Chain A
């Protein structure tokens, strides 16, 4: 759907916006307050471009969180601090629940009542979902919790707090920054020596992943099958099964690459968000490599406060389950997301249990030279099965995909296979390829770098599709 205006990274609008933001931000660097105020206004303008109606919500959430964080730094009484933290987290979470989960909760209640034979004549509240809500509420929670833990080594100032929550490269789809880390960067101001070669290559890499690979996979391989799995053959479904794993990685990590590059050019650093996730040799390894900024957020602000893995094994299993279920729901208010979280919880608990076993056969298997490759293959397929639940609009559709796998039919086009293999295999590219590219890029004179960037963008534009699809994660 072509809805209201949106400021996606791979668009001419964003290029123009970024040029203005870049020039303004660096021109104002000698005056830190003006620099940050400019970046804050640019970020709010960026948000208004998506949906101006929710700028007050964004401002309100970040002002509230910053004021609470300031107070938490000042107050010394432990009980008062704990009460304030509880209140603040409750307020922030209720914002998220109010906008995102009310309709979902309503549907569950209405269904339960009707199953019990009661006539529930409830009308679902129909509220539009503010874009990026899940991300900025998580930033706000990080701010108050880090302040409560006294993990922020600098004084929280209003402007810094607001900019931390709203900073436009991460505002719509992350990565989720930690208050403790990013407020230090804001306090210090931007790095004056810019890693521009890294930024240029990251941006190109992100564009290729997002505009060329993810769009091709979505429109040609994945969407047609998920839209009507009933008319898909086994090979269609198999391509969509692997194709979506490649698509969601390219889509999301490509977006992160572009966000990180934008921040780098403005003199700020984002933490790593993806680390070749499909190379993981265990599920817990996968969660240390996939959407790292979210999984470490859930670990630090949910799993560990629940008790982490220090208690009994049943208590740990409970903590894992709660974390993964809520992590699933974070991605969308729907039972399929809940099921996706549950599947990963079951996988993680089973994995913990298996690794603590010492059965002779299992020990032999672990010692076999093939074990790492086998583990990678098993973990990848487990993750792919999870992605079916994640992508399918309903359980019916998810089952439809698996049913289609058993229906032989004419082979799909080999080009789709080539793109899937390419998109997945890139995760095994040795690090020295990237270092080499970066060195080569840095040797180019400045004007040649600009020309190379323009040529790359032209190639990507020509090879990409004619319309830019919305990015999957915006709705979360």
Chain B
């Protein structure tokens, strides 16, 4: 900021002065021709992604008409072969990505060995023990209503041993939470912790990331005994099912979304793993908060239906006394700490610790250590 003192008059002159001699100038009418050609060409060449785009909106009269118009357009464009250039480009892109061996999903299915996490914590100058104050197993202090009914969860078999843990979901777990969980899990000895996150994805838009297709091979390969999943923060939107668009929260939306959640829960527990499904925390934005409540209800219901899956209501660990969103909160030692990041969505380190503390109690309860 050490520039010479500016002269407002000269700055003004610069702005109002005519630019250097132009190569060519256009009248508004000519620009309108360019824009109209552009719009028509794009409608035809990009009819497929535009059709997909129109399905992302809330279903209402306008959306239905827009969707119908774009569907007709897409049909016409396909018949004439105008969708071929884009398909060829997509094919070329895939071929190139394959040629470069670029999976684009570097963080997917990454194994963190527990011993490495322990070493890492030491390196960061943060003793692993500090992450969690309670050294001994304590009973899970959670009311029945917060977790799926006990009927679904056979009492822990004494032989149940923990070798591999899968942490999966979107940015809510990929942030500090996964790190805190990995570090605290590391205290149990030689565990493999597998990280599989897709930030900004969910079950509502499989075209962004297809969880239903991507998760089963990972579960089969890694064979976890425990899966901790936090997903759904991006799912407060309309769903596309076949050719229909379902408005968020409608009974039909709930049915279809619940099916997807249950399918994912079944995929996670396919090899006999226990699944802990973390609900969504209270959100600062009112609309988001209401949607999160709807989603949480679906998660809780789905967890009831799938054996070995339990649902954790995260809100009670993070909200103020009234159950509403709170950036700051009191933790066990009565010190006021920041629980959430500035975006009003994600967890801070202390917020993640509050969740991890509860999760670890649950893990100790379900997987007692061999003495």
Contact = CB atoms under 8 A, between A and B. Distances in A.
B284 interface: yes
Nearest to A25: B28
A399 B86 CA distance: 44
B31 interface: yes
Interface string B326-365: 1110000001101001111110110000000000000000
B33 A450 contact: yes
Contacts of A224: 106-107, 174, 197, 199
Contacts of B287: 3-4
Contacts of A193: 22, 25-27
A228 interface: yes
A352 B3 CA distance: 12
A228 B175 contact: yes
Interface of B is mostly: mixed
Interface stretch (A59-67, A146-154, A365-373, A420-428): A146-154
B86 A462 contact: yes
Most B CB contacts (10 A, CB to CB) among A195, A230, A455 go to: A230
A295 B38 contact: no
Interface string B143-177: 00000000000000000000000000001001110
Contacts of B14: 181, 271
Contacts of A196: 25-26, 30-31, 34
Contacts of A146: 8
B211 to A, nearest CB: 14
A1 B233 CA distance: 7
B222 interface: no
A15 B39 contact: yes
Interface of A: 1-4, 12, 15, 19, 22-23, 26, 29, 103, 107, 110-111, 114, 120, 123-124, 126, 128, 146, 149, 151, 153, 178, 180-182, 184-185, 188, 192-197, 200, 219-220, 223-224, 227-228, 230-231, 265, 267, 269, 271, 284, 287-288, 295-296, 298-300, 303-304, 308-310, 316, 320, 323-324, 332-334, 348, 352, 393-394, 396, 399-400, 403, 407, 412-413, 415, 438-439, 442, 446-447, 449-451, 453-455, 457-459, 461-463, 466-467, 469, 475
A123 B86 contact: no
Contacts of A323: 1
Interface string B74-96: 00000000000110011001000
Given A126-B344, A194-B31, A393-B342, 5 more contacts: A107-B328, A128-B285, A231-B110, A298-B1, A449-B34
A223 B39 CA distance: 34
Interface stretch (B45-53, B132-140, B308-316): B45-53
Nearest to B86: A458
A450 B86 contact: no
B216 interface: no
B112 interface: yes
B68 interface: no
B343 A181 contact: no
B253 to A, nearest CB: 15
Contacts of B284: 126, 128
Interface residues of B, number: 96
Nearest to B36: A450
Contact of A192 (B28, B46, B324, B346): B28
15 contacts: A107-B327, A151-B12, A178-B15, A180-B8, A184-B16, A192-B28, A194-B26, A194-B27, A230-B124, A271-B14, A304-B6, A412-B106, A454-B41, A457-B42, A458-B86
A181 B199 contact: no
Contacts of A26: 28, 32
Given A124-B326, A230-B179, A463-B93, A450 B338 contact: no
A295 B1 contact: yes
B19 interface: yes
